[in-house]
Amino acid sequence: MTEDEFQELKAEITAWVEGPGEEFAERIEATGVVPPDLFETLRERGYLSLAAPERLGGRGIPFSRYLELMEVFSRSHGSVRMLVHVINGTWRAMEPYATPEQLERIVKPSVAGEVLVAFTLTEATAGTGADIRTTVRREGDTYYMTGEKHLITFGVKCDYWLITARLEGTSGNEGTVEFLMPNSGLPGVEVIDDSDTMGIRGTDHAILRFQDAPVPASARLGEEGQGLEVALGGFLLPSRISVAMSCVGLAERAQQLAVEYALKRETFGKRLAERPVIQQYLAENYADIAAARALVLEAGRAYEEGRPDAAALSSASKMVAVDMIGRVTDKALQVHGGQGYWHRNAIERVYRDARAPRFEEGTNEIQKTVVARHVLTEAVAARAAASTQPTDTQEKAEDRA
């Protein structure tokens, strides 16, 4: 794709978000359901296959440029952003580990928007990492799964769960296993619709309970012991950057609404835009958004280039962007005064949707742990390297010898 073609696509998406996208947003808020024709529209327009490589049937847009498109989609309704974000990302976890049969039957159709795959890691009693408690035991060609997952986006209506478990009797990273488990009425599986959320209305979410649920060995993705490798490196690392950019896009929408209202609303004979306190809010929002956007794009480039600091920058960008969107949407709502609290105004929906990224792909408390680990590891490595370097005195002594 040439730069001109990319800019044409970006302009097309922007026009869709500001036109039909807003109409879909109103329908979703009125009904609480994502209409089937939204999914079909996104699929037919190719918006669900932007980031995947051409060999999988995608458009092959580089990750750092795809982030620019995610920024635009995120100015729309949260459910629109969620569909585009998840479907443009799950292939990264699946492709490196998929068998040829899984590639043709699941991965490529998911890129085409014909099969929906739900990322399934989070548990109510674990921290979505090495402490997961959902277990499997193998008997011949079948694994039997027992445990519970929750907050699973698209977990109700999906075709497959991209699900992480562990072999019975294992702990830590060892023994984790990944599956492409069909959502097809398997015995021992209970799917509970848990979609009544504060924001991102319309997107379905599930609680999943398993009791000796049979999973064919052919559904395993990768080898035993690679479960967290698939989940964390394959999906979460780039997904955190994408969520961070979604914060940027939604913050831009909040700022746009605040500016429009400030230019229109008059109090005591003056427009709000003429009042210094409102100008300060808008200026602070502008700076906040610009700073977060720059860090997100840097994280995207680090991931794209395979740099060793990519994971730390991924978590750092989400930390910064999540805190930023909280500040920006709060000020944008304050600019609207009491009007902003009413459901009829778009800023009310934006304010609710802005809360979800605080827990998507791990809370900020988790992100800080990742970043701190990187900082301390780098510091220890630097000290170790310095201790092995000869001092000036040692070098002079060696020269004299």
Each domain of the chain, given as residue ranges in start order, spans 3-111, 117-225, 229-380
CATH number for domain 117-225, candidates 3.10.20.30, 1.10.10.1200, 2.40.50.100, 2.40.110.10: 2.40.110.10
In terms of CATH architecture, what is 3-111?
Answer: Orthogonal Bundle (1.10)
Model confidence band, residue 399 (pLDDT cutoffs 50, 70, 90): low
In terms of CATH architecture, what is 229-380?
Answer: Up-down Bundle (1.20)
Residues 6+ apart with CB under 8 A from 274: none
Give the per-residue pLDDT at 187: 96
Give the per-residue pLDDT at 174: 84
Judged against a pLDDT cut of 60, whether residue 401 lies above it is answered with no
Distances (CA, A) of 112 to 49, 60, 184, 201: 6, 13, 20, 24
Judged against a pLDDT cut of 60, whether residue 397 lies above it is answered with no
For residues 179 and 119, give the distance between their C-alpha atoms in angstroms, rounded to a whole number.
10
pLDDT in tens, 311-364: 999 999 999 999 999 999 999 999 999 999 999 999 999 999 999 999 998 899
Q: Could you tell me the end-to-end alpha-carbon distance of the chain, in angstroms, rounded to an integer?
A: 63
For residues 157 and 148, give the distance between their C-alpha atoms in angstroms, rounded to a whole number.
17
What would the mean pLDDT of 372-399 be, rounded to a whole number? Answer: 80
Give the per-residue pLDDT at 392: 62
Give the per-residue pLDDT at 127: 75
Give the per-residue pLDDT at 173: 81
What residue has token string 């060995």? Answer: 217
pLDDT in tens, 160-208: 999 999 999 998 888 999 999 999 989 999 999 999 889 999 999 999 9
Kindly report the number of other CB atoms within 10 A of residue 4's CB atom. 8
pLDDT in tens, 289-310: 999 999 999 999 999 999 999 9
Q: Determine the distance from the C-alpha atom of residue 43 to the mean position of all C-alpha atoms in its chain, rounded to a whole number.
A: 19
pLDDT in tens, 56-79: 999 999 999 999 999 999 999 999
Give the per-residue pLDDT at 1: 81
Judged against a pLDDT cut of 70, whether residue 400 lies above it is answered with no
What pTM does this model have?
0.91
Give the CA count within 13 Å in the CB-facing half-sphere of 354: 29
